Structure 1
Amino acid sequence: MDNLRKSDGFQSQKIIVLPDHIMQEAARHPLVQPLHVTDIGYFPRALHHYRERPEGSAAYIVMYCVDGEGWCRMNGHKAFRLLKGQVVVIPPGTPHAYASSEQQPWSIYWWHMKGQSAGDYYEGFSDAAEPAVIPVDQSRRMVELFQESYDLLQKGYTLNHIIHVSQLAGHLAAIIRLARLQPQHGLQPPHKHDLDETLRFMTEHLERNVSLKELAAYANLSVPHFTFRFKEATGYSPIDYYLRLKIQLACQHLDLTGQSIKEISHRLGFQDPYYFSRLFKKIMGKSPSDYRDTRKG
């Protein structure tokens, strides 16, 4: 049973709950099946907002705080604050409670999502996961995704509208998934890995050779810890990823310049053009010369 303190709504609130029978039918569609929204809403300056679900929810609950603050507790763990610019994801079946601050009531956008691939989209979010910080450049996009979804559903619960909103939900989940891997500025423990800084360092040094030890030192982590965190975030080891960035740049040189393959390989720090060609073919599936001869655009 759900417990709530505020039952008469909030001024200028927005809320849509899609009918179960409509969503059960729509969820059979291959473009809706992986991930879909069942409930969506916005509560501005939600003073006295409190919700408790001792049995949890059947859906993933996503709450994005855009102003003020509040708190959330999951599965009996210690409550944590949810601050402006942070998002929390509550997994299905997780007992939880959350509430707005009495002093600085939050304004939150929220979604309930289900789907066969929902667990993959929100991989890494558990009952012990801390909130993720949404980068400033993605904050506006989060709100736009909500508004586009809400406006479309306001026009009716047609299958085409639900399909469109499902694709928007996937975009939203991708933003949150990436944000989870970033450090929580101002809140993170010392030496937490900042993936964006590491990738920036890599891309700025593609015309020389950077060692794993050098990358770990730049991230201020031990080599094993850095390797683990980097692979967790990207799916590749640091050096493998670095070499792939070099090959991506090589593709641009092949497409946009008249430099020879040997010149390009030397420019990107490969002393052996044959090794460069073998690596290029391994990553791109064709030799540098075949790639250059392929018609594009």
Structure 2
Amino acid sequence: MNKKADGFEGEKLYVLPPYMLNELKLNPLTNNLYITDIGCFSHARHHFRERTHGCDSHIFIYCASGKGWVRTEDNITICMTERSFAYIPRNMPHAYGANNEDPWTIYWFHLQGDQIDDFMVLFDSFKTYVTMAASDEVKLLELFHQCYDLLLNKSYSIIHLVQVSQTVRYLLSFVLSVAFRKEDSTYQSHVDKATRYMSEQLESTVSLEELSRHVQVSKQHLNLIFKQSTGYSPVDYYLRMKIQRASQLLDLTNASIKEISIQLGFRDPYYFSRLFKKIMGCSPLEYRNNLKG
């Protein structure tokens, strides 16, 4: 078989030159996340690429049609089919290629930047690949083409390079939201049920044990899925909801700080004031005196 890394009929391919990569690395608006290579291979028969020492960029591959495969360390092979999105962390030895009978059409890009590792931590929870719905594919490819067209036609403009950086950041966020929706729809329903209950109990107190009974999952499991969804434990999130409500009462009513703290279930107004400052960055009185709107 004649294995090919590129050179397919009608392919799209753009590799940023070194001087442009240096500009992206130095610009504070782009150095956190930027594309180094981007392209599309349509019906890429005999496509094959192997990097025994990995790549200095993170690689993202979207298979729009056909089939292919991605092999990473320890010879773990992912079978890529229609509407599947895979990633390969930088410096990881890997190989990938098209299926012989039904070669894939892929959209791909390489990313570097100070913030890409933070994105990869989020992607790691989805086990190297994500499947997309047809409606999701439309949005994904729209964002891809925005990046490709801007790099191809307007890469001389730093304004457009900033736009590409922000667009690919949104693309990754969109894929993560799809993955979370598909993989954790049940978990998310638990989180939604818990937050609704919290919002109904802002003027009282809710313990983690009470919340777990209401949602009908264990305390440990509720803690885990809540942190994955919101970044906070259920108790921390509940306190932040209370402080958000306190901010509204400070803005919209003439109630005293003590009255507001008691209304929201805080027995100790001094604790309420300390918590408010910790979360909001200023005391309740300072918050009330700040002009709004």
Instruction: Report the TM-score range of the alignment, normalised by the length of the smaller protein.
Output: 0.7 to 0.9
1:246 lines up with 2:235 in the alignment: no
1:148 Cα deviation (Å)? 1.7
Correspondence for 1:196 among 188, 200, 204: 188
Mapping of 1:24-39 within 5 angstroms? 24-39=22-37
Alpha-carbon distance in 2 for matches of 1:98, 1:220 = 43
Q: Following TM superposition, by how much is the alpha carbon of 1:128 offset from its aligned partner in structure 2, in angstroms?
A: 9.7
Please tell me the residue identity of whatever aligns with 1:79: T
Residue-pair matches, total: 285
Alpha-carbon shift at residue 184 of structure 1 (Å): 4.5
CA distance in 2, matches of 1:134, 1:249: 37
| Cα distance in 2 for residues equivalent to 1:59 and 1:177 | 19
- Could you say which residue in structure 2 is the equivalent of 1:164? 163
> Structure 1: any 5+ residue segments left out of the alignment?
186-191
Residues 172-196 of structure 1 deviation map (CA, whole Å, 9 limit, x = unaligned)? 334445556x2654xxxxxx68553
Deviations 1:155-205 (A, max 9, x none): 24325132332232333334445556x2654xxxxxx68553344223322
- How far residue 83 of structure 1 moved from its aligned partner, in angstroms, is 4.4
Taking the TM superposition and a 5 Å limit, the aligned residue runs for 1:1-297 are 4-5=3-4, 7-11=6-10, 13-101=11-99, 105-123=103-121, 125=123, 129-133=127-131, 139-160=137-158, 161-176=160-175, 182=180, 184-185=182-183, 196-205=188-197, 206-208=199-201, 209-213=205-209, 215-216=211-212, 222-232=218-228, 234-252=230-248, 254-255=250-251, 257-258=252-253, 260=255, 270=265, 272=267, 274=269, 276-297=272-293
More helix by share: 2
Q: Secondary structure at the match of 1:42?
A: strand
3-state SS in 1 of match to 2:91:
coil
Q: 1:259 to 1:200 in 2, by over 3 A?
A: farther
**Per-residue deviation at 1:225?**
4.3
CA distance in 2, matches of 1:49, 1:265: 65
Q: Give the letter aligned to residue 291 of structure 2.
A: R
Q: Summarize the Cα distance change of 1:25–1:290 in structure 2 as closer, same or farther, 3 Å threshold.
A: closer
Q: Which amino acid aligns with 2:87?
A: V
The one-character-per-residue Cα deviations of 1:5-49 (angstroms, maximum 9, x if unpaired) are 4643154x4221112343234422222322211111233454544
Q: Which amino acid aligns with 1:207?
A: E
Q: Are residues 136 and 284 of structure 1, via their aligned partners in 2, closer, same or farther at CA, if it must alter by over 3 Å?
A: farther
The RMSD of aligned alpha carbons is 3.8
CA contact (8 A) 2:249 2:255 kept: no
- Aligned CA distance change for structure 1 residues 100 and 195 (closer, same or farther; 3 Å): farther
Deviation at 1:260, TM superposition (A): 3.8
Q: Confirm or deny: 8 A CA contact 2:70 2:79 kept in the other structure.
A: yes
Structure 2: gaps (5+ residues):
none
Q: TM-score, normalised by structure 2?
A: 0.76
CA 1:80–1:276: 2 relative to 1, 3 Å: same
SS in 1 for 2:148: helix
Identical residues among aligned pairs (%)? 36
Provide the secondary structure at the position in 1 that maps to 2:121: coil
Bigger-Rg structure (1/2): 2
SS at match of 1:152: helix
For residues 68 and 32 of structure 1, the distance between their equivalents in structure 2, rounded to whole angstroms, comes to: 34
Cα distance between partner residues in 2 of 1:116 and 1:230: 27
